Amino acid sequence: MSNVFCQCDKCERDILVGETMVSLTMAKDKIIDESCIQPVFVNTVGMWCQACASHVVDKQVKLHKTMFD
Ligand SMILES: [Zn+2]
């Protein structure tokens, strides 16, 4: 018996407790000093199962490479 934690954004399959999920988040942090930041706000942009994550991450890396080329 496994509990559903969330759904994958790509294949829409249930991601269960005990599995590994990959998420992309946008965080807003307050900079306290050079070595310390304080989280103010975290927004989850996407969540994927491990099988889909490799494709998604691949796409993101290619996208960023294109941006910086
Ligand atoms: Zn998936």
Residue type, 35: S
How far apart CA 64 and CA 49 sit, in angstroms, is 22
- State residue 57's pLDDT score: 74
Domain-wise residue ranges, the chain: 4-68
Interstrand relation of 4-7 and 14-16 (parallel, antiparallel or unpaired): antiparallel
The pLDDT, as a whole number, for residue 69 is 66
Mention every residue, 6+ apart, whose C-beta is less than 8 A from residue 19: 5, 49, 50
pLDDT tens, 22-66? 998 889 999 999 999 999 999 988 899 999 998 887 777 777 777
- In angstroms, what is the span from residue 65 Cα to ligand 1's centroid? 24
The pLDDT score that the predictor gives to residue 52 is: 93
What predicted TM-score, i.e. pTM, was given to this entire model?
Answer: 0.65
Q: 5 near 17, Cβ under 8 Å? A: yes
Mean pLDDT lowest for which of 6-10, 19-23, 51-55?
A: 51-55
Residues with CB under 5 A from ligand 1 (ion): 8, 10-11, 49, 52
And the tokens for 50? 């491990």
